[in-house]
Amino acid sequence: MNLKERTESVALRCLGSLNARMELSESEKFYLSNLEAGFEGEVAFDKLSAKLKEERYILNDMLLEANRSDFQIDSIIISEGIIDAIDVKYFKGDYVWKDGEIYTRQTGYKCKNPFEQLNRSNYLFNQYLRENKLNFLVRFTLVFNHPEFTLYNAPEDDSIILSTQVNRFMAEMDSRPSKLHDGHKKLANILLTSNKDGSNYSKLPAYTYEGIKKGIFCEKCLSKMNTFNKHFLICSNCGRQEKIENAIVRSANELKLLFPEIKLTVQTINEWCRAGLSSRTYLRALQKYFRVMGNSKNTYYE
């Protein structure tokens, strides 16, 4: 049973939106593509874990704290006899394992050590369980699930699952019978209650309302969208069409995300979208998809 779904992180959504609206530096683009790949890999893993039979609780994308340190676990799968804590790495291409580190094969670039992260999370999660007087066995696993991932000189280590072993790893987990009781429920509830809000704006580039481009941008290629007919917008570059209503709501959500302090009104959304649509069109979309707040003179939407 899935108790916590995964959603795109605030950082990923903000950067994705900013990517259309300003010039990101190379390192910001690299960070964005890492976030995108990471999310893709986690979603791919979720599809497998969703198929698990028997009674299990699945909690995705958890941010917890122990010892006054934050730590993240991509997937926690609670079964009768064990908690599986899983870190997903969606590396693509050829890598080399050397002296406990991973390097890209082509350029020799040393990757951020996933085992260090794993050991840290392992230590902190066990600490967390002790702090909460929870007595469970935990198994940590690092899953490399990109189908095109190769690790030369890979260590023989059961806590590392390579893409060719993922199906067997899941099948093995699935074959373990599992009946959950109140203790597991309590554990899951404590985890859910202590899960922290991951919105962290600090890693984002500095941006201002005045400094970024306004408009409605294509979801696929990030180019500007223009009116096509009464109901649709069209991308000036790739020709993708989108329902006007849909595009307005999407842009309104971007405005809320990038500038939480700006109130959503017909005027602010008009200025933000600059798509040459009538106030009535904006009003209809806001009324349909957002909640009306304030009084008749100062109406805004949430």
Residues that bind Zn ion (CB under 5 A): 218, 220-221, 223, 235, 237-238, 240
CA distance 1 to 150: 32
Smallest distance from Zn ion to CB 221, Å: 3
Closer of 224 and 284 to Zn ion (Cβ): 224
Smallest distance from Zn ion to CB 225, Å: 7
Smallest distance from Zn ion to CB 236, Å: 8
Closer of 164 and 236 to Zn ion (Cβ): 236
101-104/93-98 β-pairing: antiparallel
Closer of 220 and 291 to Zn ion (Cβ): 220
Q: Are 2 and 52 in contact (CB under 8 A)?
A: no
Smallest distance from Zn ion to CB 148, Å: 27
Provide the token pair at 190: 């404590």
Closer of 4 and 240 to Zn ion (Cβ): 240
Closer of 20 and 143 to Zn ion (Cβ): 20
Smallest distance from Zn ion to CB 238, Å: 3
